[in-house]
Amino acid sequence: MLDTKKVGIKIATLRKSTGLSQEKLAEMLHISPQAISKWENGHTLPETTLLPVLSQIFRSTIDDIIMPAYSFDEKIEEEKPTILDQQAEYIAKYVVEKMDGEIVSKEKNGIGLDKDTIISSVYNAFPNIGYCTVTKGKPVKKDGNSIISITISSSQKELKLLEKIYGKNDKELYGLNFIKEHTMAIPQIYHIDLDKKVVLMDDLSNGFIQGYDFDENNENGEVIRQNYNAILSATAKFHANFWENFESFEKIGLDWRLESKENILSHISCMEKDYKKYRKNEESGKIPKVWMKFENNIETKKLDYFQDAIQYLREEYPKLIDTRFNSGRNITIIHGDLHPGQTFVSKTNDRTIKFVGLQALRMGLCTEDLAMLLALHIESNKTHAKPLLDYYYHCLCEKVKDYSYEEFINDYKISIAENMFFTIKLINKGIYDFTMRDKAIKAFETFVIED
């Protein structure tokens, strides 16, 4: 028969190894602490219905809990199959749940993560979470990827996660895999499988406000506007983590356009072609005067600024190839597409900032991210943008040395000029965001032309 004392010792050992008190374990099992005490003192045994739950909490098998207690005689050996049958019944129940649709089509097809992997990944992050259930939503297609909402429920907490299964556009997956060990400014990553092209991470949609609301006249928009400094501080910390980090540079590598002066000049020539195509369409009336909520009222003088920007880039950008990019001086890893939609502000009082959308992660000037965030979206006019830039620079210099303010502003001017042509590329593709184009022009006008 079972040796209750040995079972009790095993339960106590497993409980302590998972960091649980008797009271906490009792709460998770919905029984009294006295019942736990009786088990561990060898007075009673757990009910058989609790064994599968205990195995989940302890992350062990039922055998691990009870088998050390057997005295190996024939009678006991005959009783063992009963216990194993109970475990098999529990596993069978799980399989039936899968067949009934608790885990949806992606898992049935062998794509994505199975339930055991999800639970194991959550236990690694929250070892005391207790017995969990996993509920998956239906896959939603977005940008060629499949996104599945997942709810993890236990008596301790409820987690909202996303399982993102990548198609051909999997650059973000590799960006997350690289960056997850270096910064807290991204959603918590629970599991990454590069072979299956899937990541399991926090769903920010409930506890955070997405920066798309930054220009809306609503409560969320007000929160974003009040926390520009928090966003810039988080951006500075992100950049500082990789500042002149040659080990990271070896993994990421330089973008082709920055490898040589010939490459950057070729890149600038491509931007000039985009501009000439856009200007021809603008002057021939092919560009609409109104598109969605955007009005197109550009002046000829403002169109000329694009040619001025081309000349400015040809003069200034090649100077950085050898002195900065190929030497790694005052260079960092940048987000690469840091617009407000990639920024989340927590609803809690600490206003934690998280960044998503790492498809364009690369080496570059820190000001490339700032020009995208400020010049194209939040604040383009120098009068209002300069205090925000100064705050970022102050935060950056808490960790970064020997990066002068003059060099910082010169980098920002170059990044403004380059980002102007991002707006033109979008217009040439039929995305007529005239507001972003006009903000880019205003930034170039006030930071470069009028300087």
The yes-or-no verdict on residue 76 having pLDDT over 70 is no
Strand (E) positions, 41-197? Answer: 133-136, 140-142, 145-153, 158-165, 189-193
Cβ pair 21, 31 in contact under 8 A:
no
Separation CA 63–CA 148 (nearest Å):
34
Helix or strand (DSSP H, E) at 226? helix 219-226
Nearest Cα neighbor of 377 from 313, 296, 443 is 443
The yes-or-no verdict on residue 90 having pLDDT over 90 is no
**Predicted confidence band of residue 168 (pLDDT cuts 50, 70, 90):** confident
Amino acid at residue number 80: K
Nearest Cα neighbor of 268 from 322, 306, 325, 323 is 306
**DSSP secondary-structure letter at 257?**
G
The yes-or-no verdict on residue 430 having pLDDT over 50 is yes
Cβ pair 444, 417 in contact under 8 A:
yes
The yes-or-no verdict on residue 64 having pLDDT over 90 is no
In the chain, the domains with their CATH numbers are 4-99 (1.10.260.40), 131-202 (no CATH), 208-449 (3.90.1200.10)
Predicted local distance difference test score (pLDDT) of residue 213: 58
Predicted local distance difference test score (pLDDT) of residue 2: 61
The yes-or-no verdict on residue 104 having pLDDT over 50 is no
Average pLDDT over residues 275-283: 95
**DSSP secondary-structure letter at 340?**
G
pLDDT over 70 for what percent of the chain?
Answer: 88
**DSSP secondary-structure letter at 34?**
H
Predicted local distance difference test score (pLDDT) of residue 327: 94
Whole-model pTM? Answer: 0.75
* CA–CA distances in Å: residue 101 to residues 97, 105, 152, 164: 7, 8, 16, 19
Phi/psi for 230 (5° steps) reads -65, -40
Neighbours of 26 (CB within 10 A): 17
Please state the separation of Cα 305 from the chain's center in Å. 36
Higher pLDDT, 316 or 127: 316
pLDDT per residue over 395-422, tens digit each?
999 999 999 999 999 999 999 999 999 9
**Direct distance between the N- and C-terminal alpha carbons of the chain, in angstroms, rounded to an integer:** 89
Burial of 298 (0-12, 13-18, 19+ CB in 10 A): middle
The yes-or-no verdict on residue 325 having pLDDT over 90 is yes
